[in-house]
Amino acid sequence: MKTAASILVALSLALAGCASARPAGPAVPSTPLVTPTGVTLDARELVAGAKLTVLVFFSPDCHCLDQHDARLRELAAAYRPHGVQLVMVDSEVHATPEADAAQAAQRGYRFPILVDHGARLADAVGAQYATYSVIVDAQGHVLYRGGIDSDKTHLRATSTQYLRDALDDLLAGKQPRVADAKTLGCSLQKW
């Protein structure tokens, strides 16, 4: 006869096998982000408004990010119809909404650059570099984190498209084939 303890262990193991697998990673916290117009919104509310949200960490002085501007514009346009929003996050110490609005216009971004004062969001999700990207679901669960692709500054058609592949996998109802990829970018100046 099975004991109550062995039944509980068996039940918990069975239920653990049914849980949806998520990459190990932090969840998006409730933290303020400032829009280009100076409005403060909560990061959790921001991500709740889309099926998936891509957060890409920004630095106006990062040559690696400069090289990826076209890819980011293409990603945003291609995945917007599928319920995906792309948002740049500036966690650098001297970030201002006005400067970031000018950067977005100069770069041709059709998505905002939001200011993360005190780098609270960056620290919560482990962002150390510009180009570091995080995909989260509407509940704020981190599903992917890492680089945009395997290129640093010289973009190649044969590079591994980590961010695009993760979006494709997630939209197809699968786990990302790579959930934690190497980031090739510039150190964020958070202090």
Q: What is the pLDDT of residues 43-59, one digit of tens each?
A: 999 999 899 999 999 99
> With contact defined as beta carbons under 8 Å apart, do 89 and 114 qualify?
yes
Q: Which of 143, 50, 137, 53 is nearest to 89 (CA)?
A: 53
Q: Is the pLDDT of residue 91 over 70?
A: yes
Both tokens of residue 95?
């970030």
Structural domain span for residue 94? 23-171
pTM equals 0.85
Q: Is 15 inside a domain boundary?
A: no
156 found inside a domain:
yes
Mean residue pLDDT across the chain: 87
What pLDDT, on a 0 to 100 scale, did the predictor assign at position 25?
58
Please give the pLDDT value at position 19: 34
Would the pLDDT of 144 be above 90? yes
Q: Are 53 and 140 in contact (CB under 8 A)?
A: no
Residue 188, CA distances (Å) to 80, 86, 122, 123, 138 in order: 27, 19, 9, 11, 26
For the chain, the domain total comes to: 1
Is there a domain that residue 6 lies in?
A: no
CATH classification at residue 36 = 3.40.30.10
Percent of the chain with pLDDT over 70: 85
Mean pLDDT over 65-89 rounds to 96
Q: Is residue 50 part of a domain?
A: yes
